[in-house]
Amino acid sequence: MRIRSEELRFLVATAYFAPAWTYGGPVRSAAALWKSVLTHGHHVEIHTTTANGSAPELPAAIQQPVPVGSLSAYYHPLSIFPPARRHFVSPSLRMAIRSRLSCHDVCTIHGTFTYIDIACSTECTRARIPYFVFTHGAFEPWALEHKHRKKAAYLSVAERIVYRRASGIFVCNSAEHRWFAEHGLGNRTHILQWGFDAIDTESPLSASEFASRYPQLNQQPYVLFMARIHPKKGLDLLLRSFALLADRFPGWTLVVAGSGDANSEASVRKEASTLGIADRVLFTGFVNGRLKESLLGNAALFVLPSHSEGFPVAVVEALAHGVPSVLTRACYVPEVAAQRAGLEVDPDVRSLTEALQALMSSPALLGEAAKNAKKLAESRWSWSAVGEEFLATVRRAIAIR
């Protein structure tokens, strides 16, 4: 294997990829990272599956890659057997990785606890090509406890081999790093926090368009929750906290921007109705592009009360828009509280309610936090810097190998 001194050729294997936005942050983060790597002058070839969550499956594209912004990707069909599909089994993807490894310097794998990481790590080992694995928060404590038996069995049988053979493991936070250190892999584990997309000032809706789209907001302040609707995101806590404050802050609305499976969405809507705040909660569904920029840019406060996160890109995007944030410690962004850009709380109704009340009742505190938020995002997170950090880590790991 020959590693070039300038350009690196990356072969990327991922269980799902854009435009499968239903999988949330990992899809957006992976797309942005590889766009950054491409911008830095390196070659990127992406192979993924047709998986698209509960939405219609993406079209297969095996012979010619499909453009995805400045990137392109090959989409391989999933197995026809339901149990195999749940683990993103795709023989076509494995064959493609096997045939393309000799043309590349490095393979990177996004697909923890799936067929993808085991199949691709096996092919890399056979071809003697270094590979790196992205965990996307899968080894955060709450995530490990969720379906613990299934993950523990899977990890004991096959997954440990994947990580022990890897040239490097990219995790999102300190909790994941501790887990790998406790299992003897700390020396090859690297924390890589995600960045945020630069804000396009022409992208958001105009004031009149925004008012027409969301008349319920009526130019009044709102709390924004922008994430996948899933039990781990803690939206039930936010609904209960907002219900406790609704009478004290009659002008405020809670905006829930995100989607989930039918049961999760029905559950949170029922909770809002039971709490008597259905008319104070605006469910927008999944948003992207101009709508997303507009909701972020006009929010007074961003809240993410998660029980588990890898690295929540939405928090950084909110900060970049100058929106103060209230988030739980499980989001692993302590910089927000340290730099007075918001508040960090425990994942319980009392702590969350106190934090919301403190900021909603003080325009001066909100204003100061907003200024700090923008400064923090611009100084700490950008995709260009994340790309440089990733590339430097890969080069160091390869040099040691």
Whether 8 shows a pLDDT value over 50: the answer reads yes
**Do 376 and 361 share a structural domain?**
yes
Per-residue pLDDT at 4:
45
Assigned token pair, 173: 């936070």
Average pLDDT in the 49-55 region? Answer: 93
Rounded distance between C-alpha atoms, residue 128 and residue 122, angstroms:
10
| pLDDT single digits (tens) 137-155 | 888 887 777 655 555 655 6
Question: Among candidates 311, 305, 312, 324, which has minimal Cα distance to 366?
Answer: 324
**Do 334 and 224 share a structural domain?**
yes
Per-residue pLDDT at 207:
86
- Establish if 294 belongs to a structural domain: yes
- Establish if 300 belongs to a structural domain: yes
Per-residue pLDDT at 155:
61
Mean pLDDT of the chain: 91
- Strand 325-328 and strand 301-304: the pairing is parallel
Per-residue pLDDT at 148:
54
What domain range is 121 assigned to?
9-195+382-400
Range with the lowest mean pLDDT among 3-7, 73-77, 99-103, 383-387?
3-7
Question: Among candidates 129, 121, 131, 126, which has minimal Cα distance to 170?
Answer: 131
Average pLDDT in the 209-232 region? Answer: 93
- Strand 71-76 and strand 61-68: the pairing is antiparallel
**Do 349 and 220 share a structural domain?**
yes
Whether 277 shows a pLDDT value over 80: the answer reads yes
Per-residue pLDDT at 2:
41
**Do 290 and 358 share a structural domain?**
yes
Per-residue confidence band for 394, with pLDDT thresholds at 50, 70 and 90: very high
Whether 1 shows a pLDDT value over 60: the answer reads no
- Establish if 325 belongs to a structural domain: yes
Beta strands per DSSP E along 284-394 = 301-304, 325-328, 342-345
Whether 300 shows a pLDDT value over 50: the answer reads yes
Per-residue pLDDT at 118:
93
Whether 388 shows a pLDDT value over 80: the answer reads yes
| pLDDT single digits (tens) 320-368 | 999 999 999 989 899 999 999 999 999 999 999 999 999 999 999 999 9
DSSP code at position 156 = I
| pLDDT single digits (tens) 154-191 | 566 678 899 999 999 999 888 899 989 998 998 999 99
Average pLDDT in the 242-268 region? Answer: 95
Rounded distance between C-alpha atoms, residue 165 and residue 177, angstroms:
17
Whether 111 shows a pLDDT value over 80: the answer reads yes
Residue whose structure tokens are 């609707």: 229
**Do 369 and 233 share a structural domain?**
yes
What 337-346 contacts at long range (C-beta under 8 Å, 24+ apart), as own/partner pairs, is 339/372, 339/375, 339/376, 340/368, 340/369, 340/372, 341/369, 341/372, 341/373, 341/375, 341/376, 342/302, 342/369, 342/373, 345/305
Rounded distance between C-alpha atoms, residue 24 and residue 26, angstroms:
6
Rounded distance between C-alpha atoms, residue 225 and residue 238, angstroms:
9
**Do 395 and 265 share a structural domain?**
no
Please give the distance of CA 260 from its chain centroid, rounded to a whole number. Answer: 15
Whether 296 shows a pLDDT value over 70: the answer reads yes
**Do 158 and 255 share a structural domain?**
no
Per-residue pLDDT at 81:
93
- Establish if 202 belongs to a structural domain: no
Assigned token pair, 181: 């250190």
**Cβ atoms within 10 Å of 175's Cβ, excluding its own:** 21
CB 117 within 8 A of CB 139: no
| pLDDT single digits (tens) 18-43 | 999 888 888 989 999 999 999 999 99
CB 255 within 8 A of CB 299: yes
Per-residue pLDDT at 98:
98
**Do 289 and 354 share a structural domain?**
yes
**Do 62 and 141 share a structural domain?**
yes
Please give the distance of CA 262 from its chain centroid, rounded to a whole number. Answer: 21
**Do 396 and 340 share a structural domain?**
no
What domain count does the chain have? 2
Per-residue pLDDT at 3:
44
- Establish if 200 belongs to a structural domain: no
For residue 378, give the H/E element and its range: helix 363-380
- Establish if 316 belongs to a structural domain: yes
**Do 132 and 232 share a structural domain?**
no
**Do 280 and 389 share a structural domain?**
no
Range with the lowest mean pLDDT among 89-98, 171-180, 202-211, 255-264?
202-211
- Establish if 236 belongs to a structural domain: yes
CATH code for position 164: 3.40.50.2000
Residue, of 198 and 194, whose pLDDT is higher? 194
Per-residue confidence band for 401, with pLDDT thresholds at 50, 70 and 90: low
